[in-house]
Structure 1
Amino acid sequence: MTAVIDRPTATVDIAAVALPRVLTSVAVTSMVAVSLAPSLLPRSAVVQAVLTGLLAALGWGLASAWHHLSRRLGAGRPAPSRESARLLVLLAGAVTVAAAMLLADHWQDSLRVAMGVPTVGGGHWAQVVVGAAAIALILAAGTRAVAAGVRRLGAVRSAAVVAALAIATQFWAGPALWQARAQSYHAANTTVDTSLRQPVSSSISGSPDSLTSWSSLGAQGRKFVAAGAAYGAVRTYAGIDSAPDQDGRVRLAVHELERAGGLAKSTVVVAVPTGSGWIDGNAAEGLEQRFGDDVALVGVQYSSAPSWVTFLFDRDAAEQSARALFTAVSDRISLLPVGERPRLYVYGQSLGAVGASSIFRNEELGERACGALYAGPPAGSARTAGAVVLANSSDPVVRWSPRLLLHPPALDRTRTDAPRPAWLPVVSFVQTSVDLLSALDAPAGHGHRYGTDQGTALPDGGCATGAAPA
């Protein structure tokens, strides 16, 4: 007689797998679609994965919070949706995400073709999917862990922990972090790039004859003068360490301009740097192409922090420095014989445009300038009336402002350099905010990168040599 032994077999009960609630599927799908909406600039797989993962986790969190709030405020649990409805919405969400990804692939390739950079392939989107899923799962797990900790501690103790963390951040961690960042900015500014050669021409700051030493010019100032001047053009610059305060730097810059022969040129350009002290080399080259050796450029550094830091926390420094330098230079020019006075122009890019435009708030002061050119001025932050404005349609800096949440950007003074995404409330604000991260990674002529036309497009101006007021 043979014994028959029944061996257990592994089975998967598909019906037992918990499907996400309808609201959860809708929220996550919507957030993923927002993350894949058209951008201004080509986006790397890493940045796209982080954005998609963050927004997917946010969608899950909002849906979970809604369900939790409904249970707390309602009479018991809401009626659960049927499994068939959950499955249908989940499948619809998957199709929506797939379609959004196909459209995003087409949009990214159209941007890349317009900007002359390689298109993306399947590997790009595979990295996005894997990275976004990992980030979303990690954030969801972390949120659940925090929620479990709050339940164990109770409301009172949890509030006490949050209050303690807030106080520690306000009075210790925040100031310590700010101090550390300030020190790092200063260190970066004082570090000498050994690949740069100290100028030897007396018409350039940092040379042996200069009133501003090579070491005092700062990292960006040294780059500006080391690039050299074409045909004997003058480049003068005063760094943060060239004098102890703004007034001292401005006086030194004017003396240096005079020493280098700048007042003997037919054209003087007050170039207002960005937050870190950077003056775009393309602008300087364009000015020298425009005027040859008959031009002098003068700039003064007012900060060593990146532009976005200075823009948020110390914007007045750019404006005060620009007005002080322009006033001092124009006052010095007015002391020259009428027939020997050079034309005076103003140039600024990004935060430099904000500083440069502040000169024209004073009508009398603005009348001393023969013209102004602003490249990539931040949206709504620069007075652009009467100036030549260079603004790429793909530049997020010229679009971004809180108004973008609910109002379309003003693009009447932008030049189309790539496909323009349609404006959508909130969505365009999110996408433009992310594009700020890669604004300087685009080729010249796209994003927040501008070419030699920053100099060659300088207006002819409304004054002739010797028109500076006495």
Structure 2
Amino acid sequence: MFSILPLLAGLLMAAASLTPSLIPRDWILQGVLAGTSMAAGYLVLVFLLALWRALQIPLLPRRWATLCHVVLAIPVLALLVRCVALTDDWQNSIRSRMEMPPLEAANTTKMILLAAAVFLILYLLGRGMQGLFNLLRNRLARYIPSASANVLGLLLAAVIVLLVTRDGVVNWAFRIADQSYAAAQHITDPNTPAPIEDWRAGGPDSKVDWGLMGKPGRDFVLSGPRAAAISGFVGRPALEPLRIYVGLAQEKSPEVRAQIALDEMIRLGAFERKVLIVASPTGTGWMDPASYDALEYMHAGDVATVAVQYSYLQSPMALIFETQSGLDQATATMRLIYEHWRHMPDDARPRLYMHGISLGAWSSMYSFSPFQMMNEPIQGALWVGPPFPSELWRQTNNARRPGSPFILPEVDDGEVIRYSSQFAPPDRSGKPWGRLRILYLQHASDAIVFYNATSLWRAPEWMYEPPAPDVSPFLNFTPIVTQLQLAVDMAVSTSTPPGFGHTYDAEEYIDGWVAVTAPENWTAADTARLKAKCGKDGLLGCKNG
């Protein structure tokens, strides 16, 4: 039933898949990955053997072929056994760095069984596709030459599979996900009606429809520190922070939603605040409270933050299916707000900053127009966990100083652009900032940032560098397998504790906002007090008391 050489190639790739990558995997993820890697290895060698036969290159006699199979099987099986024995140690080498409990050794057997089941399912699907190809080419061979029938049959089979998966299964899954996430947007506590305060978005006379704001927007508008709590922390009078949020359901057009956001900002006096943040949410519309709470504390509440939703999907899905919607929304929002801001008198307008996390960082960067802003630049930007396709991030990486690490580049002398991580604060160089301050906050263990499509056949550049403190020293490159590992890492990148992977915590945001916005009369002691207040549970936002 199985061909020996492809099976050995599959086992070899399954063994390689057990090595660690950026995010720790439990037995279920590892089983799926190992089974998929085995199927990929099997498929690759089947293709190469078919190509070998098509080129009419002589094959070994059966006796010699059998001997080769035995000779090759011994080291492959030995390597597989060794990798299985080491898999828990490899995974624990990441988990210990992320302060996660070690794996249970008893799960290894379940992982192996799951890997075998996944491989078998994928193998049967492959046999089904081969059967479709054989059916088509045999039918076509009745009317056209066999060589042409083979080519046309392969093309037709590929088109049918593509249409079924892309326009059938994938679109069906996308519609189901979109509908479920859209429904989740409206799940809220029935005892939480629209705010009665006139200074809140969605309140009396608001331009924003509270019922159409969605759960992420309602949570953002209602949460956060109040003026009394902020005043108690800073030791002086504080303002109520302004939070403006327009939901995706408000209007179909991104330009109209952006205009509603601008009108609401004007109504609430957002342009009269000292600090104005144009933020882009994640794919679901979520706004990380760890970031915004900290910022409002350090500026005594004299902050206005505006965001407009563009999707209901989780960021990895929105990255694939709704890429343009986020870019269009961020561009429309930033263009309107910047135009209003730049026509204000210099001494009357707020300090303007851009901010985004994950997919929001990508869309925010996309809306950053240096040609539009060259004469009157904004004050800065904090972009967190920028996804790998972000063009501005890639251009900045390419401009790094020779010899500076790929995961934390140094651009010129750091006056305009800096990089930071949980182990490398933004002001570690001690050098002064320039007029414009742009900070990228990223983790070396964040696959959303460091995924690379070319890892299918070559090691990403960052793999040639010494591993960061949150990356396993046993990480290595294997063609095809590394690509699959990084794809799985992206899918589960938020499963890590705060401060690792694609999960950023309050302490990192605090360092980032201090560096970018330079709060008045702020000291290192204030930073320490705010970090103590927010603590390691920063994902829940800073405490209000």
**What TM-score comes out, normalization by structure 1 length?**
0.81
Q: Are the equivalent residues in 1 in contact too, given 2:16–2:478 (CA < 8 A)?
A: no
Deviation, structure 1 residue 277: 1.9
What amino acid is aligned across from residue 371 of structure 2 in structure 1? E
Aligned match for 2:89, one of 99, 106, 109: 106
> In terms of mean alpha carbon deviation, does 128-137 or 354-363 score higher?
354-363
Residue type of the alignment partner of 1:129:
I
1:434 to 484, 488, 503: 488
In structure 1, which of residues 300, 303, 306 is the aligned counterpart of residue 308 of structure 2? 300
Tell me, in whole angstroms, the C-alpha distance in 1 between the residues paired with 2:372 and 2:24: 44
Q: Does 1:212 align with 2:208?
A: yes
Distance of 2:282 and 2:85 partners within structure 1: 39
Q: Deviations over 1:259-296 (max 9, x none)?
A: 33423321111111123322222222222233231111
Whether contact under 8 Å (1:37, 1:431) holds in the other structure is no
Matches within 5 A, 1:297-336: 297-334=305-342, 336=344
Deviations 1:319-370 (A, max 9, x none): 3322332232233334555433211111011221122222433334264311
User: For residue 401 of structure 2, what is the aligned residue in structure 1?
Assistant: none
1:454 aligns with 2:509: yes
Matches within 5 A, 1:51-66: 51-66=33-48
Tell me the residue number matched to 1:11.
none
Query: Once the two structures are superposed, what CA deviation does each residue of 1:395-428 show, in whole Å capped at 9, x if it has no partner?
Result: 001111323342524599x974343664526343
Q: Show structure 1 runs of 5+ residues with no match.
A: 1-17, 466-470
* Structure 1 outlier segments of 4+, above 6 Å: 462-465
Match of 2:271 among 263, 267, 271: 263
Q: 1:421 to 1:395 in 2, by over 3 A?
A: farther
Q: Which residue of the partner structure matches residue 234 of structure 1? A: 242
2:101 is aligned with what amino acid? P
How far apart are the structure 1 equivalents of 2:178 and 2:90?
A: 41
Residue 451 of structure 2 is aligned to residue 400 of structure 1: yes
Structure 1 residue 89 displacement after superposition? 3.4
Name 1:12's counterpart in structure 2. none
Is 1:135 aligned to residue 118 of structure 2? yes
Against the structure 1 CA distance between its residues 418 and 203, is the aligned structure 2 distance closer, same or farther, given a 3 Å change threshold? farther
Q: Determine if contact 1:196/1:223 at 8 Å carries over to the other structure.
A: no
Residue correspondence of structure 1 range 198-209 to structure 2 within 5 A: 198=193, 199-209=195-205
Counterparts in 2 of 1:111 and 1:127: CA distance versus 1, 3 Å: same
Please name the residue that 1:173 is paired with: 168
> 1:352 is aligned with what amino acid?
G
Structure 2: which 5+ residue stretches go unaligned?
141-149, 228-239, 397-416, 418-437, 521-545
Inter-CA distance 149–112: structure 2 relative to 1 (3 Å threshold): same
| Percent pairwise identity | 26
Aligned to 1:3: none
CA distance in 2 between counterparts of 1:331 and 1:154 reads 61
Deviation at 1:394, TM superposition (A): 0.6
- Give 1:240 deviation, angstroms: 1.6
Q: How does 1:318-397 map to 2 (within 5 A)?
A: 318-334=326-342, 336-365=344-373, 367-384=376-393, 385=396, 386=417, 387-397=438-448
Letter in 1 for 2:274: S
| Deviation at residue 119 of structure 1 after TM alignment | 0.7
Give 1:42's aligned amino acid: P
Equivalent residues of 2:366, 2:390 under 8 A apart: no
Change (3 A) 1:143 1:315: closer
Counterpart residue identity of residue 454, structure 1: Y
Letter in 1 for 2:179: S
In structure 2, the residue matched to 1:279 is 287
CA change 1:98–1:178 in 2 (3 A) is: closer
1:65-92, CA deviations, whole angstroms, 9 ceiling, x for partnerless residues? 5556656635677433476654453332
SS of 1:340's equivalent in the other structure is coil
Q: Residues 85, 357 of structure 1: CA spacing in aligned structure 2 closer, same or farther, 3 A cutoff?
A: closer
Residues 182 and 101 (structure 1 numbering): CA distance in 2 closer, same or farther, change over 3 Å?
Answer: closer
TM-score normalised according to structure 2 size: 0.71
Q: Tell me: CA distance 1:175–1:101, structure 2 relative to 1, closer, same or farther (3 Å).
A: closer
Post-superposition offset of 1:57: 2.8
Secondary structure at the residue paired with 1:374?
strand
Rg: which structure is higher? 1
Describe the shift of the 1:154–1:455 C-alpha distance in structure 2 as closer, same or farther (beyond 3 A).
same
- CA distance in 1 between counterparts of 2:482 and 2:47 reads 25
1:164 CA displacement: 8.2
- d(CA) in 1 for partners of 2:512 and 2:162? 52
C-alpha contact (below 8 Å) 2:243/2:305 kept by paired residues: yes
- Which residue of 1 is the match for residue 233 of structure 2? none
The 3 A distance-change label for structure 1 pair 145 and 415 is closer
Cα RMSD after superposing both structures: 3.6
Q: 1:123 corresponds to which residue?
A: 106
Distance change >3 Å, CA 150–CA 242, structure 1 → 2: closer
1:275 and 1:303 in contact (8 A); partners too: yes
Aligned counterpart for 2:477 among listed residues 418, 424, 439: 424
